[in-house]
Amino acid sequence: MPIFTKRLGAAVLAVGMTFTGVAAFAQQKPPAPPAQQKPPAQQQQPQGEQPGQVRVELQPSQGEWTKVCGRDQMANKDICYTTRDFGTSADQPPVLAVAVYDVKGDEQRIVRLLLPVALMLRPGFRFSIDKGATQEGGFEICFPNGCFAESKVRGQTIDQMKKGNVLNISVKNQANNEVVFVLPLAGFAKAFDGAPIDPKVLEDQQRKLELELQKRAEEQRKALESQGGAPAGAPGGAPAGGAPAGAR
């Protein structure tokens, strides 16, 4: 995955910073009802949410879906992928990234994710578009600040993504509770079917993103140090080593 890992190097950096807030919430067990207290019969679970489930609503932390095309020298094939980063809000670093691969000449497409660490790997992940059928995928490799996972799909799934409103990504946390990341699909169809971004424009965007993330990490580090909550050399609570070399 040479193209994708290069594109998401900055996102891997951000996962370490942001996971201290978002995924820490995702690891928590949903609050149990008080002992010897039975919920009223008329009380219902919020729509779309199941008992024991934690839902995390994400927003784009990147202006729009971006389509990148290039030649994979190892596979000797032309590859395009359409990607976007998502966080808890538009002004926060990404905690999750999605890329949909379209390899010229292949019937299968690949939905590839960059997910936070500290999730259970053996169950893999599941995803659905809106209230459609659930599909499965597995984790491929993890680094200190993020894990890559992917699922091979057919054109029908891509068509559903083009027409869909939200993508639901379901994983299991350390407490064996289901965590569902919900992210918007608006703009995906236009980017997937449109022209790829100019490499120079992409490079400029990456440079700006990296600088912004470094700035935010420094601000978080100073804030934590002022509160005595983080040692020097560990920006934003992330591991001191930063992103792995293989993810740049």
Q: Quick: pLDDT tens for 106-132.
A: 989 999 999 999 899 999 999 999 999
Q: Quick: pLDDT tens for 189-200.
A: 999 999 998 878
Domain count, the chain: 1
Q: Find all residues with CB under 8 Å of 204, minimum gap 6, and list them.
A: none
Q: How confident is the model at residue 74 (pLDDT cuts 50, 70, 90)?
A: confident
Q: Is residue 25 one of the residues assigned to a domain?
A: no
**What secondary structure does DSSP assign to 8-38, as a single string?**
THHHHHHHHHHHTTHHHHHHSPPPPPPTT-P
Please name which of 160, 165, 157 lies closest in space to residue 136, comparing C-alpha atoms.
Answer: 157
Q: Look at 109 and 46; give whichever has higher pLDDT.
A: 109
Domain containing 172: what range?
1-20+50-201
Q: Is residue 172 one of the residues assigned to a domain?
A: yes
Q: Is residue 209 one of the residues assigned to a domain?
A: no
Domain with residue 129: its CATH number is 2.60.40.1880
Q: Quick: pLDDT tens for 226-237.
A: 887 544 444 333
Q: Is residue 14 one of the residues assigned to a domain?
A: yes
Q: Is residue 100 one of the residues assigned to a domain?
A: yes
Instruction: Give the pLDDT score at 210.
Output: 81
Q: Is residue 27 one of the residues assigned to a domain?
A: no
Alpha-carbon gap, residue 43 to 63, rounded angstroms:
39
Q: Is residue 222 one of the residues assigned to a domain?
A: no
Q: Look at 180 and 94; give whichever has higher pLDDT.
A: 180
Q: Mark out the alpha helices in the chain (DSSP H runs).
A: 2-7, 9-19, 22-27, 155-163, 188-193, 199-226
Q: Is residue 140 one of the residues assigned to a domain?
A: yes
**DSSP-derived pairing of the beta strands 96-103 and 66-72:** unpaired
Percent over 90 (pLDDT), the chain: 46
